[in-house]
Amino acid sequence: MNSFQLEVNIMQIKVLYFARIKEAVNYSSEDVDLPEDIETITALKHWLSKRGEVWANLFSGKLVVRAAINHNLVDDLATFEDGDEVAFFPPVTGG
Amino acid sequence: MNSFQLEVNIMQIKVLYFARIKEAVNYSSEDVDLPEDIETITALKHWLSKRGEVWANLFSGKLVVRAAINHNLVDDLATFEDGDEVAFFPPVTGG
Amino acid sequence: MIRVQTDDFDMAQVLDDLRKHNPKVGAIVSFVGLVRDINDSAEVTTLTLEHYPEMTQKALQAIVDQAKQRWDIIDAVVIHRVGTLLPTDQIVLVAISSAHRQAAFSACEFVMDYLKTQAPFWKKETNSQGARWVEAKASDDEAQARWTQ
Amino acid sequence: MIRVQTDDFDMAQVLDDLRKHNPKVGAIVSFVGLVRDINDSAEVTTLTLEHYPEMTQKALQAIVDQAKQRWDIIDAVVIHRVGTLLPTDQIVLVAISSAHRQAAFSACEFVMDYLKTQAPFWKKETNSQGARWVEAKASDDEAQARWTQ
């Protein structure tokens, strides 16, 4: 019973990084297991920033970090669900 | 003395016609001798309109007739001088 | 470069000329006007453009000069065809190069709006019912008036 | 048509495709963005474009769909290159066909303003001093914001 609850309450998402953020974290993609209360971009940024100095610097708010959920640009209050793809990147500079 | 004055007081200009105006008058260019008091586009339109029905219809004001003096688009109060080239045409429709 | 010609023009050549000789160019905005197969009335079979040769070049140059005074543009090309054209034929090209895109967009639209109301060209359409001169449109006067408000 | 590609594109081919198959087209407005040899700092030697492949097509399509809802346009082409480019190389093409010119001008500028702020591309420049990511410009956000006022 206890172990069944644990499985339900862990959410797995895929997280992608682009441009200078990818270079800072040194990889482009990872699968992340999250506690169930981490379901907004803001919460995810806060949670990731506890990983260490590089992460804290990235998500400190000094530089703008944009996010997409399942390939849609979103603001930081957007929520994601188990299995979603979340991406972090700097403001875009195409064109 | 009299004949000398007459020569001075007659102004000769070249008048060009384009598009439907050219078709209405049936030629594209003429040299016109004008009395000296005909020196604005308005006066020239009025003077030409006395030539007959075709001319009266053209310059009656029912249709817009634009004018250029020496290749510059002008409004009807613009004045011309001896030797100038005056053109009459409908509103332009290029592009 | 301003040209009035009966021949068709090669848009790719014009754009290559604008960009290849000047690495300061970051943006090129171009407009191509085409003969449509339908206008106010019936199906158009030909479109014939008449102009006032001695005035045309001067009028187009004056429009381009105004655009260069108003916006920070690098170069401008205007090519206008005259003579008889068919549906889908190219009539006019306006291409503007600049460092940044907004100047090129504004200048290109400005040149077209002024060309439509100031440059001495006249269009005559033929269709199955005969030939008729194309009427000037109030919307073109309004488009031009925007720039002086 | 929306394409993201490493290869260069042929502007003339795109414009011919837009006009030759549809005699309702009276106007084509196009924008070409090019690699400039100088940016904020020193002379640029290369420009490398990275993107988010799964998102890019979707983001560009959403922008084009919005333009089609807002203006009476006939067709739209967006081609954006990725990979490493050199000064004077073409980066992006937006071409819009319509019956009348104002819709094409507005839609083309709209698509570019949204592409600049919404489509997941990132530029990295190299010059004699090394490589650096290009910073987003506030002027691009302002350009996009005009359309929502």
Which residue of C12, C34, C143 is in closest CB contact with D12?
Answer: C12
SS (H, E, C) chain B: CHHHHHHHHCEEEEEEECHHHHHHHCCCEEEEEECCCCCEHHHHHHHHHCCCHHHHHHCCCCCCCEEEECCEEECCCCECCCCCEEEEECCCCCC
Tokens coding C53: 């040769």
C118 contacts on B by Cβ (under 8 Å): 73, 92
Of C133 and C43, the one with more pLDDT: C133
**Percent of chain D whose pLDDT exceeds 70:** 97
Interface residues of chain D, partner chain A, Cβ below 8 Å: 33, 49-52, 54-55, 58-59, 80, 91-92, 112, 115-124, 133-136
Q: Write out pLDDT tens, residues D45-98.
A: 899 999 999 999 999 999 999 999 999 999 999 999 999 999 999 999 999 999
**Distance in Å, alpha carbon of B52 to nearest chain C alpha carbon:** 23
pTM exceeds cut of 0.90: yes
ipTM metric: 0.90
Contact between chain A and chain B (3 or more Cβ pairs less than 8 Å apart):
no
Q: Would the pLDDT of B74 be above 70?
A: yes
Amino acid at B44: L
- Give chain A's domains with CATH numbers: 10-89 (3.10.20.30)
CB contact under 8 A, D118 and A73: yes
- Give chain C's domains with CATH numbers: 2-148 (3.90.1170.40)
Contact between chain D and chain C (3 or more Cβ pairs less than 8 Å apart):
yes
Tokens coding A44: 């995810």
If we measure between CA atoms, which residue out of D33, D39, D6 comes closest to residue D127? Answer: D39
Spatial distance between the Cα atoms of A83 and A70, rounded to a whole number of angstroms = 10
pLDDT of B10: 82
Of B1 and B51, the one with more pLDDT: B51
Which residue of B16, B19, B64 is in closest CB contact with C133?
Answer: B19
Q: Which residue of C has its CA nearest to D94?
A: C29
Q: Burial code of D82-113, b = ≥16 C-beta within 10 A, e = fewer?
A: beebebbbbbbbbbbbbbbbbbbbbbbbbbbb
A64 contacts on D by Cβ (under 8 Å): 136
pLDDT of C7: 97
Which residue of A18, A68, A73 is in closest CB contact with D50?
Answer: A18
Q: Write out pLDDT tens, residues A5-22.
A: 555 578 999 999 999 999
CB contact under 8 A, B94 and C124: no
Angle at D2 between CA D1 and CA D8, to 5 degrees: 105
Residue among D97, D101, D110 with most chain C CBs within 10 A, to mutate: D101
Q: Would the pLDDT of C149 be above 90?
A: no
Q: Would the pLDDT of C64 be above 70?
A: yes
Specify the range with the lowest mean pLDDT, choosing from C41-45, C106-110, C117-121.
Answer: C41-45
Which one of A57-61, D8-12, D104-108, D143-147 scores highest in mean pLDDT? D104-108
pLDDT of C38: 77
D10 contacts on C by Cβ (under 8 Å): 12
